[in-house]
Amino acid sequence: MKTKADRIANMPDYPFARWGEKVRAARAAGLDVIRLDIGNPDLPPPDKVVDALCSSARDPSAHGYPGYRGIPQLREGITSYYERRFNVNLNPQEEVVPLLGSKEGIAHLSLAILDPGDLVLVPDPGYPSYTMGAVIAGARVHKFPLLPERGFLPDLDAIPSDVALEAKVIWLNYPNNPTAATADLKFLEQAVAFAREHDILLCHDLPYCDVTYDGYTAPSVLQVPGAKEVAVEFNSLSKTYNMAGWRVGIAAGNPDVLASLFAIKSNVDSGQFLPVQEAAARALETPEDWIKARNRIYKERISTAVSGLAALGFPVSPQKATFYIWTRVPEGQNSEGFATALLENTGVSVAPGSFFGEKGEGYIRISLTSPKAHIAEAMDRIRKYISGLSST
Ligand SMILES: Cc1ncc(COP(=O)(O)O)c(C=O)c1O
């Protein structure tokens, strides 16, 4: 009996699923684990969003199939959000598709527009689903490096021209996971020009656009004039409104690409639970004050972690967005080895940078999605561990 398609024969396990097993084993061994590995917001969504979910779920008529395209209220909530937040106008019928989390849409996008053997340009380090979506679709991946000396922005001109001409899709993600780097609108303009010149679909992934600090405002690629001709943007309610478990994402932009994405989705899923859609529409109306107050909490956590790490000699730079800290492992150690030793010796769980690609080797990513007291405790444990290492 065949139990595996060729296209997934060499597909590694999703790295964070594998890491989750290590965390479970550490807990089973009696360790008090502080999880700073996955970007899983610990704070709650706005109250009114939870209230909307509960009251909608009490309606006996809310439990059937909700329809495929997303309810008008949610689509219009998305377009109003894009207009208010980015001054971008979208047609709610054709230029927006609600997703079961943006990860779902990212993976299905590849199936929707790529043929086996097509070439995809993916940042290294980068969110694993860009590569995995391409692998599932039987496509080939060309990785381009994000390097510290360029502020983790790619040098698009360094992509060989034959590769750029062959490629069908390029993935970009700013504010960036895992590096916390940001890009300005000028960079996104260059990316749109690159996509246009090479006849490539630009997929911009923007889930951290509202996790920003010190007055920084992250741009949407759709702000670039004419971007809809060559780009789609993925967005998410997971980080903006602390709704990661709800699975609500957004694809917006080029209507032809979105029609292909919808063709796949309507054959794979049957839409999203109606109360979730109704509550998500309410979330998208959340006043900016709520977001600012939430971001102040992240900012305090970042300060706690940065001062702890800097005192231990980990290189850390100031950041304008995301709740991640991307820092180098001590000299002579590798990412997964260091993160594993840290977990097993201290119970502090951070993500090995190698989970995000070869260029992530030598780094760890620390996710500040735990209370400040836990972060302070984690820094203390790391300090004791590192000083133990240097005294042996
Ligand atoms: C860069 C990036 N894109 C997409 C996602 C997926 O988010 P979700 O599926 O929760 O919308 C994540 C989640 O961590 C992410 O970091």
What residues are paired with 167 via a beta bridge?
A: 119
| Residue of 168, 222, 158, 226 whose CA lies nearest to 198 | 168
Do 357 and 258 lie in one domain? The reply is: no
| Residue of 391, 392, 390, 385 whose CA lies nearest to 331 | 390
Q: State how beta strands 201-205 and 249-253 pair.
A: unpaired
Q: Is residue 174 part of a domain?
A: yes
CA distance 230 to 137: 21
The pLDDT of residue 389 is: 76
CA distance 245 to 240: 13
One-letter amino acid of 352: P
The pLDDT of residue 255 is: 98
Give the pLDDT means over successive 10-residue stretches in the chain (392 positions).
87 87 95 96 98 98 95 98 98 98 97 97 97 94 97 98 97 98 98 98 98 98 98 98 98 98 96 97 98 98 96 91 97 95 97 97 98 97 87 66
Ligand 1 atom, smallest distance to 104 CA: 9
Q: Is residue 1 part of a domain?
A: no
Mutate to test the pocket of ligand 1, among 97, 205, 209 (most ligand atoms within 8 A of CB): 205
Do 361 and 228 lie in one domain? The reply is: no
CA distance 96 to 228: 11
Domain of 154 in residue numbering reads as 47-283
CA of 103 to the centre of ligand 1 (A): 6
CA neighbours closer than 13 Å in the CB half-sphere of residue 372? 11
Question: Mind spelling out the 3-state secondary structure of 170-198?
Answer: EEECCCCCCCCCCCCHHHHHHHHHHHHHH
Do 149 and 260 lie in one domain? The reply is: yes
The pLDDT of residue 9 is: 83
CA distance 374 to 372: 5
Mutate to test the pocket of ligand 1, among 36, 236, 276 (most ligand atoms within 8 A of CB): 236
CB-based contact 360:176 (threshold 8 Å): no
CA of 179 to the centre of ligand 1 (A): 14
Do 194 and 207 lie in one domain? The reply is: yes
Q: Which of 227, 259, 283 is the last residue of a domain?
A: 283
Q: Which of 283, 311, 341 is the last residue of a domain?
A: 283
The pLDDT of residue 392 is: 62
Q: Which residues contact 211 (CB under 8 A, 6 or more apart)?
A: 175, 239, 240, 295, 298, 321, 322, 323
Ligand 1 atom, smallest distance to 244 CA: 10
CA angle in degrees (0–180, nearest 5) for 270-248-138: 70
